[in-house]
Structure 1
Amino acid sequence: MNLKEKLQHKDFIITGEITPPKGTDLTEIYQIAEELTGTVDAINVCDSPMAKMKMSSIMAAHLIEDKTGMETIPHITCRDKNIIALQGDLLGASQLGIKNILAITGDDPTAGDHPEASPVFDTNSIGIIEIVQNLNQGYDHNNNQLTGDTDLTVATAANLGADDLDEEIARLETKVSAGADFIQTQPAYDLETMDNFLSKTEHLDVPILIGILPLTSFKMANYLDSNVPGIKIPDSIITRMKDQGAEEGVKIAQEFLKKAHSKIDGIHIMSAKRSDVLLHILEGIK
């Protein structure tokens, strides 16, 4: 079964994440995808995250699928292209065999490695979701008929630890109404935050994959807790990470996953280029 079918059958879904290279060498990316084949259901392919230029997410996703057979979820952002180009990319992605995308608004380019770049933001993530559903029905954004349609599954992101959770859920409701097929959340580190989010989203009839970002150091734990909106790391975990490294972070992720597994539809593990870390974390549910 492909990802769409697994979502429809309500299987427990596991997704990973890859950032394309700043260049043309995909050797490492291919190796990671091959190592994860048979373990994860699909791999997210980031679209120049933090506004730092990387290979096209759609092109990288196509090359990964062609080389390894691994199903992908390329990210599509509104930052760099207007509404015409976005639709053209989605049509092309469909014809390249891409079956899924994650719709996100994107980071401000002033924070990236090309701060002089002009942001576009013709629309937002909700707009991309609506566009995908229009293309799936054979129409463009302005309801002009296409010569053929797409068959794209579209994911959306959620911040389960948002300061204003009611506002975040209201936005999620809009995304689901627009046609989002499933949700991938930001990282969770404690069951209380996760349970609160899940209790408030029970009415959303789409699968929710809980984000897991393994900690690699005490410094990383402090940074995420202090600087990333929506991520709250319990003091007990920060204390555990003192003088510890990635191995302790994996143990923490394993413990969380073991407790959360029966409550959730799936997980999205953000382990970047560490397939060994992802596979190690999954030992927690065996």
Structure 2
Amino acid sequence: MLLKDKLKKKEFVITGELTPPKGTDCSKMFRVADELKGKVDAVNICDSPMATMKLNSIIASHLIQEETGLETIPHITCRDKNIIALQGELLGASRLGIKNILAITGDDPTAGDHPQAKAVFDSNSISLIKAVQKLNTGFDINDNNLKGNTDLIVATAANLGAEDLDKEIERLKVKIDAGADFIQTQPCYDLDLLDRFLDKTKDFNIPILIGILPLTSYSMARYLANKVPGIEIAPSILERMKDKDENEGIKIAREFLKDAYSKIDGIHIMSASRSDILLEVIDGIVK
């Protein structure tokens, strides 16, 4: 069943995440995708995350689908291309058999491995969502006719740990009005935070996949808690991760998923191309 059909039927959805290689050797990417096939409904393919250059997300997605049959959700960012190029990229993605994309604004190049690169940011995630929906109807954003339309569903990101959650919710409403078909959130570790977010989004008419990022070390937990805006990690969880490894992080993720499972539409597991971790998190919990 295609992801869009499962979302439409409001069945529980699982998505994973892969980062393309920095180079042309796709063997690991294919291996992980093959291990996830049949276990997840689709896998996100990052677009040079943290502004670190990687194989193009659309090309990587196409290769994964051709090699393994696993459905993909390439990230498309506004960082590197203007709206002309972005629309051309969306046309190409659709022509290559890609059915879904995640529209994101993108990270500042100064954070990556090419700090001298100039950011474009000609548009943002909202205008990119609008562009997807226009192309789906057979027109570009300036209402010029297309010879053949796209057939894409578009996801948007949400930060349920935003410092100003009400502002984040208002922005999500704008994204939904622009045409977002479903939401994937940043990682969540706290049930109270999840409940607050779900209460504020209870009237949304699109599925929300809650982000789960299994911790693999205490240093990772501290970094996320102190350096990444919007990710809240309770002191009790930080204490649990002291002198512990990924096994404790998997336990924490499983506990959260078990408690949250009946409340949510699905999950987006960010396991850094670790299929073993993703499969351990969902084992015996997801029906």
TM-score (norm 2): 0.99
Q: Distance in 2 between matches of 1:253 and 1:88?
A: 39
Q: Distance in 1 between matches of 2:178 and 2:285?
A: 34
How far the C-alpha of 1:223 sits from its partner, in A, is: 1.2
Q: What do residues 97-143 of structure 1 show as CA deviations (whole Å, max 9, x unaligned)? A: 00000000000001111111111011000010000000000000101
Structure 2 stretches of 5 or more lacking a match?
Answer: none
Q: What do residues 34-78 of structure 1 show as CA deviations (whole Å, max 9, x unaligned)? A: 101111000000000000000000000000000000000000000
Q: Secondary structure at the match of 1:215?
A: coil
Q: Distance in 2 between matches of 1:51 and 1:142?
A: 29
TM-score (norm 1): 0.99
How far the C-alpha of 1:204 sits from its partner, in A, is: 1.0
2:65 pairs with 1:65: yes
Q: Distance in 1 between matches of 2:116 and 2:242?
A: 39
User: Which one-letter code corresponds to 2:230 in the other structure?
Assistant: G
Residue 262 (structure 1) aligns with:
262
Q: Distance in 2 between matches of 1:220 and 1:28?
A: 23
Q: CA RMSD in A?
A: 0.6
User: Which one-letter code corresponds to 2:254 in the other structure?
Assistant: Q
How far the C-alpha of 1:172 sits from its partner, in A, is: 0.1
Q: Secondary structure at the match of 1:64?
A: helix
Residue 55 (structure 2) aligns with:
55
Residue 170 (structure 1) aligns with:
170
Q: How many residues align?
A: 286
How far the C-alpha of 1:222 sits from its partner, in A, is: 1.1
Q: Distance in 2 between matches of 1:269 and 1:284?
A: 16
2:251 pairs with 1:251: yes
Residue 280 (structure 1) aligns with:
280
Residue 96 (structure 2) aligns with:
96
Q: Distance in 1 between matches of 2:284 and 2:180?
A: 29
User: Which one-letter code corresponds to 2:188 in the other structure?
Assistant: A
Q: Secondary structure at the match of 2:283?
A: helix
Q: Distance in 1 between matches of 2:232 and 2:86?
A: 34
How far the C-alpha of 1:284 sits from its partner, in A, is: 5.0
Residue 229 (structure 2) aligns with:
229
Residue 126 (structure 2) aligns with:
126
Residues 212 and 268, structure 1, Cα contact 8 Å, conserved in 2: yes
User: Which one-letter code corresponds to 1:171 in the other structure?
Assistant: R
Q: What do residues 161-194 of structure 1 show as CA deviations (whole Å, max 9, x unaligned)? A: 0000000000000000000000000000010001
Q: What do residues 229-258 of structure 1 show as CA deviations (whole Å, max 9, x unaligned)? A: 111111111111011000000000000000
CA 1:211 to 1:257, structure 2 compared with 1: closer, same or farther past 3 Å?
same
Residues 257 and 284, structure 1, Cα contact 8 Å, conserved in 2: no
Q: Distance in 1 between matches of 2:76 and 2:140?
A: 17
Q: Distance in 1 between matches of 2:193 and 2:228?
A: 15
